[in-house]
Amino acid sequence: MCDTINYIFILVVLYLGEVNKTLSSENKNLDKEVISFYDVKKLIEKNRIDEVIEMLNKMFVLTGDLKCHFELAKLYIKKHNYDEAINLLLSLVDCDSVKSYYVHYELCLCYFYSKKYNECFDCGIKTYESSDNQEKCDDYLYYMIISSANKTSRLQEGLSFIEKYPCYKNPKTVNQVISLYHDLKMNNKALEVIRSTSFESENDYDRITLSYIYYDTGNMDKAYDVLNKIEKTDDSLMILKGKIEYRQTNYLESEKIFGRLVKKGYRPSKTAYLLIKSQIRLGKIEEARNNLKLIPANLAKTEFLKATICIYSNELDEAENILEKLSENDGKYRCISLIYLASIHIRKHQYTEALSLLGFVYFNYKTTFDKRILSNVVMLISIAQTNIGIDIQKTNYVMEQVANFSQNATLRHMEDRVNGYHFFKNIDLQATFDRLQELIADEYPKICACSRACDAYVVDFPSAGVFYDKPLDKMQVITVIGTKDIISFYPVSELSYWKNFDSDSVGPAIKVKRLSQIEKFNKKYGNCY
């Protein structure tokens, strides 16, 4: 508005005398008090825009100065008369009366406010290209461009703009940039923006986007924290919550969430799929098998679940047949099917075949893996190499045990961790080790290593340990995949199965800042190694 006032002042100074001489009797209805800049300013402050518009129209008739149209357009924008403003501004596009940047900027505003987002995006790009470096600092223009790209799904064009002009500071603009990256499934880039700008969500819509970004980039604690700030949690967000619990290996909690959603009939195919995955991890194989009927037959994901259930049921030949068919198609499940097939070969002691598959996976898919999956593939490769006589680089405890298993190494490992595992005091580790070997000798793993390097057994073990005066009466036993080579064991509760590998076994773990309810239970009644 300041530009409008200044320009009117100039007009008044230059033309007021002529205006007073030439205005006809019909024009004398114009506010007689308007004889100075101060009076014009008063009219605008009093929101007497119509009178100012009338004055500018009179001045244009008198002078033919196109700048009057520019000032008129800005007043029409103030009155939300965008069509009139657009017509005036379009007449100024190819003239030199007003700098191109300012014309296009006001046009951009008109298109944006009138929800003509395609026109706004195109005009915004022209505006930016016609601007100087100082003008490029206008964050609202940047906001309108990226917001319009999001609203019109012109995401690749918006991405090109961001890459060419990476200058945004305002939280609203940052929000739009993050949203664009998220829609393009470039969540790592979105996370970079969040971290570099210290972006904080201000509403539930933004929080939902942030939760998914954190989830997709493996920041489960952050995802959960943001999710908990959302005031109204619907069923779709409960799915996300369940998936977060699953990724944090809180399988019992995820099973509860997905089970409730299945009963409600919410997206039965998807929620049943997630429920079955949780039940498989919990070792509830028959329940998982029964729930398969809730998912349409012959879908790739259904077949994949069947294969997983077969592995957990020690039906390895059947699992192999299913996975071989899945791996023939270049689809979503090809890579993971090949890894699962390799783990079956390892379990059958077919190490050459396993190495061939894992080598193919590593060289063709490694760029798509996150660190966790990549470390597991490398570990499986090491197991296969060791068993066919190839020396491996022993970078951690599990690698050492894979290359040259030693009961003594296991006992030394346990001595270093006995206090943190909540064993009863003065536990005889050697006697415990021997007893565990007996208990798992004829057992099949409760949790199979399908894409990991270790199996897990859970056995009854009275007086295994104690935590805050609560007895722990089970022992979780970790072995190298397909063997009875025990590399770790620790007392657990019913709900604390299979949490994580040791941090020194598969590389750095994600820092945990939040404890879920199930994790709090595990800390109270069980532990993980």
Q: What is the pLDDT of residues 329-340, one digit of tens each?
A: 878 889 999 999
Share of the chain above pLDDT 70, in %: 83
Kindly give, in sequence order, each residue whose CB lies less than 8 Å from that of residue 420, ignoring residues fewer than 6 positions away.
527
Q: Is residue 254 part of a domain?
A: no
Mean per-residue pLDDT, 133-160: 86
The helix-helix angle for 235-247 and 204-216 (nearest 10°) equals 30
State yes or no: pLDDT of 508 exceeds 50.
Answer: no
Tens-place pLDDT, residues 477-502: 999 999 999 999 988 876 554 444 33
pLDDT given for residue 178 in this prediction: 93
The helix-helix angle for 2-22 and 67-78 (nearest 10°) equals 120
Q: Is residue 219 part of a domain?
A: no
pLDDT greater at residue 27 or residue 92? 92
Tens-place pLDDT, residues 409-435: 999 999 988 877 788 888 899 999 999
Q: Is residue 313 part of a domain?
A: no
Which of 232-236, 437-441, 472-476, 497-501 bottoms out in mean pLDDT, i.e. has the lowest? 497-501
Q: Is residue 253 part of a domain?
A: no
pLDDT greater at residue 44 or residue 88? 88
* Rounded CA separation 75/68 (Å): 11
Question: Which residue among 147, 167, 185 closes a domain?
Answer: 185
CB 65 within 8 A of CB 59: yes
* Tally of domains within the chain: 2
* Rounded CA separation 258/241 (Å): 10
Tens-place pLDDT, residues 58-72: 777 666 677 778 888
Cα separation of the two ends of the chain = 66
Q: Which residues of 354-371 are buried (b: 16+ CB within 10 A; e: fewer)?
A: bbebbeebbeebeeebee
Phi, psi of 459 (to 5 degrees): -125, 150
Predicted TM-score (pTM) of this structure: 0.69
Question: Which residue among 163, 185, 207 closes a domain?
Answer: 185
Question: Which residue among 185, 218, 245 closes a domain?
Answer: 185
Q: What is the largest CA-CA distance in the chain?
A: 114
Q: Is 67 helix (H, G, I), strand (E, B) or coil?
A: helix
Kindly give, in sequence order, each residue whose CB lies less than 8 Å from that of residue 117, ignoring residues fewer than 6 positions away.
111, 147, 148, 151, 152
CATH of the domain at 76: 1.25.40.10
The DSSP letter of residue 464 is E
Q: Show the domain range for 168.
A: 2-185
pLDDT given for residue 419 in this prediction: 79
Tens-place pLDDT, residues 39-48: 555 666 667 7
